[in-house]
Amino acid sequence: MFCFQCQEASKGTGCTVAGVCGKPHDVANLQDLLVYLLKGISFLSLDVRLPEELDHRVSLFITDSLFATITNANFDRAIFVDKIREALILRQKVFTYRNEQFPDAATALPDAAIWQADSEQDFDAKARQVGVLSTTNEDIRSLRELLTYGLKGMAAYTYHAWQLNYTDKEVDLFMRRALAATLDNTLDAADLISLNMEAGKFGVKVMALLDEANTSTYGHPEITKVNIGVRNRPGILISGHDLKDMEELLKQTEGTGIDVYTHSEMLPAHYYPAFKKYDHFVGNYGNAWWKQNAEFEAFNGPILMTTNCIVPPRKSYIDRIYTTGNTGYPGVHHIPEGENGQPKDFSLLIEQAKRCLPPTELETGEIIGGFAHEAVMSVADQVVEAVKTGAIKRFFVMAGCDGRMKSRSYYTDFAEQLPRDTVILTAGCAKYKYNKLDLGEIGGIPRVLDAGQCNDSYSLAVIAMKLKEVFGLDDINELPISYNIAWYEQKAVIVLLALLHLGVKNIHLGPTLPAFLSPNVAKVLVENFGIGGITNVEDDMKIFLGA
Ligand code: FSO
Ligand code: SF4
Q: What is the DSSP string of 77-125?
A: HHHHHHHHHHHHHHHHHHHHHHHHH-TTS-----HHHH----SHHHHHH
Write down which residue in 354, 385, 404 finishes a domain.
354
Q: Which of 241, 207, 211, 224 is nearest to 429 (CA)?
A: 241
ipTM of the modeled complex = 0.96
168/238 Cα distance (integer angstroms): 28
Going from the Cα of 204 to the center of ligand 2, the distance in angstroms, rounded, reads 26
Candidate of 237, 310, 489, 499 to mutate for ligand 1, largest count of ligand atoms within 8 Å of Cβ: 489
The CB of 175 under 6 Å from ligand 2? The reply is no
Are 107 and 232 part of one and the same domain?
Answer: no
Chain centroid, CA 252 distance in Å: 26
Q: Is the peptide bond before 454 cis (omega within 30 degrees of 0)?
A: no
522/525 Cα distance (integer angstroms): 5
372/370 Cα distance (integer angstroms): 6
Sign of the alpha-carbon torsion through 343, 349, 353, 359: negative
Q: Which helix (H) or strand (E) holds 248?
A: helix 243-253
Are 8 and 128 part of one and the same domain?
Answer: yes
Candidate of 2, 23, 80 to mutate for ligand 2, largest count of ligand atoms within 8 Å of Cβ: 23
What residues does 483 pair with on adjacent strands? 397, 507
Going from the Cα of 203 to the center of ligand 2, the distance in angstroms, rounded, reads 23
452/272 Cα distance (integer angstroms): 10
The CB of 484 under 6 Å from ligand 1? The reply is no
Going from the Cα of 71 to the center of ligand 2, the distance in angstroms, rounded, reads 6
Are 240 and 347 part of one and the same domain?
Answer: yes
In a domain? residue 150: no
Q: Which of 213, 238, 95, 88 is nearest to 163 (CA)?
A: 213
Instruction: Give me the CATH number covering residue 38.
Output: 1.20.1270.20
206 and 63 Cβ atoms separated by less than 8 Å: no
- Domain span at residue 129? 1-134
In a domain? residue 36: yes
Output the pLDDT for position 357. 98
Instruction: Give me the CATH number covering residue 250.
Output: 3.40.50.2030
Going from the Cα of 33 to the center of ligand 2, the distance in angstroms, rounded, reads 16
Provide the pairing of β-strand 441-442 with 445-446: antiparallel
The CB of 9 under 6 Å from ligand 2? The reply is yes
Going from the Cα of 10 to the center of ligand 2, the distance in angstroms, rounded, reads 7
Going from the Cα of 389 to the center of ligand 1, the distance in angstroms, rounded, reads 36
275 and 38 Cβ atoms separated by less than 8 Å: no
Angle at which helix 77-101 crosses helix 25-44, to 10 degrees, equals: 10
Q: Which of 23, 106, 102 is nearest to 69 (CA)?
A: 23
Candidate of 429, 435, 494, 495 to mutate for ligand 1, largest count of ligand atoms within 8 Å of Cβ: 429
The CB of 23 under 6 Å from ligand 2? The reply is yes
The CB of 492 under 6 Å from ligand 1? The reply is yes
34 and 69 Cβ atoms separated by less than 8 Å: yes
Q: Which helix (H) or strand (E) holds 135?
A: none
Candidate of 2, 20, 30, 70 to mutate for ligand 2, largest count of ligand atoms within 8 Å of Cβ: 20
Output the pLDDT for position 293. 98
Write down which residue in 307, 325, 354 finishes a domain.
354
Closest ligand by atom to 512 CA: 2
Residue nearest to atom 2 of ligand 2 (CA): 6
Contacts 24+ apart (CB under 8 A), 201-205: 201/501, 202/154, 202/170, 202/171, 202/174, 202/175, 203/150, 203/153, 203/154, 203/494, 203/495, 203/497, 203/498, 203/501, 204/458, 204/461, 204/498, 204/501, 204/502, 205/168, 205/170, 205/171
- Residue-level pLDDT, tens digit, the chain, 547 residues: 999 999 999 999 999 999 999 999 999 999 999 999 999 999 999 989 999 999 999 999 999 999 999 999 999 999 999 999 999 999 999 999 999 988 877 668 999 999 999 999 999 999 999 999 999 999 999 999 999 999 999 999 999 999 999 999 999 999 999 999 999 999 999 999 999 999 999 999 999 999 999 999 999 999 999 999 999 999 999 999 999 999 999 999 999 999 999 999 999 999 999 999 999 999 999 999 999 999 999 999 999 999 999 999 999 999 999 999 999 999 999 999 999 989 999 999 999 999 999 999 999 999 999 999 999 999 889 999 999 999 999 999 999 999 999 999 999 999 999 999 999 999 999 999 999 999 999 999 999 999 999 999 999 999 999 999 999 999 999 999 999 999 999 999 999 999 999 999 999 999 999 999 999 999 999 999 999 999 999 999 999 998 6
**How far apart, in Å, do the first and last CA atoms of the chain sit?**
46
In a domain? residue 246: yes
Q: Looking at ligand 1, which atom is closest to the CA of residue 307?
A: 8
The CB of 265 under 6 Å from ligand 1? The reply is yes
- What Cα–Cα distance (Å) separates residue 100 from each residue in 93, 112, 113? 11, 20, 16
Q: How many domains does the chain have?
A: 2
501 and 206 Cβ atoms separated by less than 8 Å: no
In a domain? residue 241: yes
Q: Looking at ligand 2, which atom is closest to the CA of residue 7?
A: 2
In a domain? residue 243: yes
411 and 429 Cβ atoms separated by less than 8 Å: no
125/354 Cα distance (integer angstroms): 46
Residue nearest to atom 2 of ligand 1 (CA): 309
Number of continuous H segments (helices) and E segments (strands) in the chain: 19, 15
Output the pLDDT for position 108. 83
316/283 Cα distance (integer angstroms): 24
Task: Indicate the DSSP class of residue 342.
Answer: P
In a domain? residue 524: no
Task: Indicate the DSSP class of residue 448.
Answer: E
185/195 Cα distance (integer angstroms): 14
In a domain? residue 537: no
Write down which residue in 354, 388, 405 finishes a domain.
354
Considering the entire predicted model, what is its pTM? 0.98
Output the pLDDT for position 189. 98
In a domain? residue 471: no
- What Cα–Cα distance (Å) separates residue 164 from each residue in 160, 432, 451? 7, 27, 20
